[in-house]
Structure formats: C-alpha cells, structure tokens
Amino acid sequence: MSEANKDLMEKYMKEVALRRKYHEQLVELKGNIRVLCRVKPVLKEDQQEEGQAVVVTTDPNNESALSVINKGKARAFELDKVFHPQATQEEVFQEIGPLVTSCIDGYHVCIFAYGQTGSGKTYTMEGSVENPGINQRALKHLFNEIEERKDMWSYTVNVSSVEIYNELLRDLLSKDGEKLDIKINPDGTGQLHVPGLRVTEVKGFQHIKKVLAKARRNRITFGTKMNQHSSRSHALLCITVHGTDLANGSKTTGKLNLVDLAGSERVWKSGAEGERLKEAQNINRSLLALGDVIQALRGNQTHIPFRNSRLTYLLQDSLGKGNKTAMVVQVSALESNVGETLCSLKFAQKVCRVELGPAHVTISFRMTRDAMPYKTSQR
Ligand SMILES: Nc1ncnc2c1ncn2[C@@H]1O[C@H](COP(=O)(O)OP(=O)(O)O)[C@@H](O)[C@H]1O
Ligand SMILES: [Mg+2]
C-alpha cells in the first residue's frame, strides 16, 4: 500500500471508530434498558360488545405518557416511550433500529414483546406479509449494514430458534421439536450453551426469511401435537453475528434475541384447573422472573436472579450488564380488557421506574412537607 493510501486508510478507520463511539453514546443516552408501550388500535373484530368504551389515552404532547380510566378514575403511567394506536410498524422499528446496529458492533441485544393474548405481540414482532414487524425489519437492517461494511469487515450470521413451553425448551429448527437442555460450557468460560441446538448459517435476507418461515411452521405443528396454543409459550429467535476486522483481524460477537413472550393474562382468575393451571403458573413465574431480572439490572443491583426461569437463564449472557434490552409492552385500549391492561402497565412501570433514584428520599421529603402545620408557600 502506498504511503498516501495508508494515511487515508488510517483516517478512515479513525472515522469508523468514532462513528461506533457516537452511536453507542446515543444509544446509552436513551438508556440501555428501554420500556416501550404500544397501544393496539381497536379493530372491528375486537368490538364484541357494541359501543365499548376506549379507556386508554395517549398524549400527543408527551410521548412517554399514557392514562387509563378504570371505574371512573384516571391512572397515569410514564414509560420511556408510548406508541399511539395509529403508530406504524416502521415507527416502532425506528426505536429498535439503533439496537440492531449495536448488535453488529458486538453488543448483545434482547427485544421482548409482552402483553395479554390478542394485544398484538406477534403483530409487533412478526407482523403480516404486507406489513412485516420487528423481526424482518431488524434482519433486513442487519444485512444492509453488513453489505455497507463489507470492505472493512467480514461477518457470519447464525440463527437458531427455540420455544419455551412449561419450562421445557424445544428446538424450532429441528424436525420434531427436540427437547433441549441448558448446560454450562465445559470450556471454562462459565458461559451457557445448549447441546444439540440446531444453528443455521444464513447468507442473506432471503435465506433467513425461509428459516423464519420454517420456525413459524414448526411452532404451529409442535403446538398442535401437544394440544397447546402458541400464546402459551415463549418463542425466541436468536441471531449471532461474528465479525472480523479485515484490517487488523480483531473479532467481535454480537447477539440479537427477538422474543415473542407467552400471553401475560392471569387465567387462574377465571378458574383454570389441571394442565391449564400448571401452564399458567409456569408462564406467570417466568414473566415475573424476567421482570425481576430487568428491574435488578436497571437498578444496578449486584445479584441478578437469572436462574429463576429457563427464559432468563437462557438469555443470561445477553441480558447481563453492558448489554441492551427493549421491552415492548402491548396493551388493548378497550374497557373489557382494562384489568389486564393495568396489570401490563404496572409491570412496565415496575421495570421502568428503577432509574429514578432511591424512593425513600422522595417519600421522606413528602412526609416532612405534609407533616408541616402550614405549607411552605404560605410562610
Ligand atoms: N397495530 C396493529 N394494527 C393492526 N392490526 C393489529 C395490530 N396489532 C394487532 N393486530 C391484529 O390483532 C390480532 C391479534 O394480534 P396478535 O399479534 O396475534 O396478538 P398476540 O400475539 O399478542 O396474541 C391479529 O389479528 C393482529 O393482526
Ligand atoms: Mg401471538
């Protein structure tokens, strides 16, 4: 390489390093763990009772606020971002795109869809043929970025897909939904691995679309065999991106985990028994464990309870400190769902609020003021 070329190359590398740094700063400014809420539009088929009231309202002047009316009382929630019912798949992806870029830069990323059955989790993650959701948009973005960087970096992309049902792990890319176990890697790194898990190397967007279709088909067939509906299991799509810097040989590994969670509805309230009750308890336990893990991470706690469910155990190395997570909480706006909507928003608020600082400070301040014989302003 001529001296002039070397000089140019060095300058270019510096620019690339700066871009990565600024990108990360931007993502971190927004927060490494983000809790978003998407309000489902009222569809004709949801209106079983004519003229049902819409009880969820978003605020056009405040994109973090949302309020819910229950029994005549309004309750306000504040999250990192709220999507109004008319928000498009593209608008939702705009919030997620930067995390996909982080994944190519070597970060581990988790994106979850949470909510009661029918609230739009699968629509947000998978979407429809005409209007694809986060999964396809993320993968398209991933391959576009890889193409743009091809003179500087070489990448390989591997995909696996599993379902967690009743705390059992099944391979969605195997023929018969093989049951899998999570083990500690014998290589001494302490990392987890899943022996026997099928991992497919994908070469481009069209190829990965076929793999996604296979996982979706398998989810439905295995589901029918077990006489169970897909809304009662967590579906995970795990993409691993290995990068090699062509100039100096340095390597990065990023992971993108896209998770369509099981429905969060509390079925035991309607008197479920037997298998259905066991299922519900398992779902409840794993969603609770996920909430606890995110809350502990966001609160910078030293002990993170990863081992309390298969889901958090499996995602341990992607959820840990320094990684990035987005939780999209889906809610229905209709009065008939208000109980579940409030529960989902309380969950969202619980994992969201931690960063606001120690609560007791606020409480003691309020108590002092309230305990005063007259208000400060009256002095
Ligand atoms: N934002 C939206 N716009 C249009 N249709 C939606 C939207 N969200 C959900 N739906 C539709 O509502 C129905 C239930 O959504 P779905 O994603 O299957 O819910 P879940 O996966 O939470 O059970 C589906 O028919 C889906 O296409
Ligand atoms: Mg679904």
Residue 119 maps to a domain: yes
Which residues does 318 contact at the CB level (< 8 Å), separation at least 6? 108, 109, 110, 255, 257
Structure confidence at residue 1 (pLDDT): 64
Structural tokens at position 75: 């309750």
Q: How far is the CA of 319 from the centre of ligand 1 (A)?
A: 27
With a cut of 50, say whether residue 358 has pLDDT above it.
no
Distance of CA 25 to the CA centre of its chain: 20
271 is in an annotated binding site: no
Across 346-351, average pLDDT: 92
Helix (H), strand (E) at residue 370: helix 359-371
CATH number of the domain enclosing 169: 3.40.850.10
CA–CA separation, 184 and 19 (whole Å): 36
Does some domain include residue 81? no
| Residue 121 annotated as part of some ligand binding site | yes
**How large a percentage of the chain has pLDDT more than 70?**
89
Residue bearing the bigger pLDDT, 220 or 68: 68
Q: Do the bridges between strand 183-184 and strand 192-193 make them parallel or antiparallel, or are there none, so unpaired?
A: antiparallel
Beta bridge partners of 81: 36
Show the CA angle centred on residue 291, arms to residues 285 and 293, nearest 5°: 100
User: How far is Cα of residue 11 from the mean position of the Cα atoms in its chain?
Assistant: 37
Q: How far is the CA of 83 from the centre of ligand 1 (A)?
A: 14
Q: How far is the CA of 98 from the centre of ligand 2 (A)?
A: 25
Instruction: Tell me phi and psi for residue 58, to 5 degrees.
Output: -100, 165
pLDDT category at 220 given cuts 50, 70, 90 is confident
Model pLDDT, residue 356: 37
Whether 75 maps to a domain, the answer reads: no
Check pocket membership of 229 for ligand 1, CB cut-off 6 A.
Answer: no
Nearest-10 crossing angle of helices 205-225, 134-148: 150
Element (DSSP H or E) covering residue 31:
none
155 domain residue, yes or no: yes
Q: What is the pLDDT of residue 372?
A: 37
How much of the chain exceeds pLDDT 90, in percent? 61
Average pLDDT value for residue range 308-319: 94
Q: List the domain range (segments joined by +) for residue 261.
A: 91-327
pLDDT at res. 341? 97
Ligand 1 neighbourhood includes 127 CB (under 6 angstroms): no
Q: Is 107 left (phi over 0), alpha (psi -120 to 50) or beta?
A: beta
Q: Is the pLDDT of residue 153 over 80?
A: yes
User: Is the CB of residue 332 below 6 angstroms from any atom belonging to ligand 1?
Assistant: no
- pLDDT in the model for residue 374: 37
Probe residue for ligand 1, chosen from 123, 283, 337 as the CB with the greatest number of ligand atoms within 8 Å: 123
Ligand 1 atom with minimal separation from the 89 CA: 1
54 domain-assigned: no
DSSP 303-342: ---GGGSHHHHHTHHHHSTT-EEEEEEEEE-BGGGHHHHH
Separation CA 131–CA 108 (nearest Å): 26
Residue-level pLDDT at 362? 30
Cβ of residue 115 lying under 6 Å from some atom of ligand 1:
yes
Residue 340 tokens, joined? 């579940």
Q: Whose CA is nearest to atom 3 of ligand 1?
A: 41
CA 271 and chain centroid, separation: 30
159 in any annotated domain: yes
- Mean per-residue pLDDT over the chain, rounded: 86
Nearest residue (CA) to ligand 1, atom 14: 118
Indicate the helix (H) or strand (E) that contains 216.
Answer: helix 205-225
Q: How many domains does the structure of the chain reveal? A: 1
Query: Tell me, what's the pLDDT at 361?
Result: 32
Q: Is residue 254 annotated as involved in ligand binding?
A: no
Rounded alpha-carbon distances, angstroms, from residue 351 to 78, 80, 83, 295, 324: 11, 11, 18, 5, 14
- Residue 83 Cβ < 6 Å to ligand 1: no
Q: Are 253 and 241 in contact (CB under 8 A)?
A: yes
pLDDT category of residue 161 using cuts at 50, 70 and 90 = very high
What is the average per-residue pLDDT within 16-31? 81
87 lines ligand 1 (CB under 6 A): no
Which ligand 1 atom is at minimum distance from the Cα of 85? Answer: 1
pLDDT tens for residues 73-121? 999 999 999 999 999 999 999 999 999 999 999 999 999 999 999 999 9
Q: What is the pLDDT of residue 355?
A: 47
In a domain, 69, yes or no: no
Q: Does ligand 1 come within 6 angstroms of the Cβ of 219?
A: no
Does 143 map to a domain?
Answer: yes
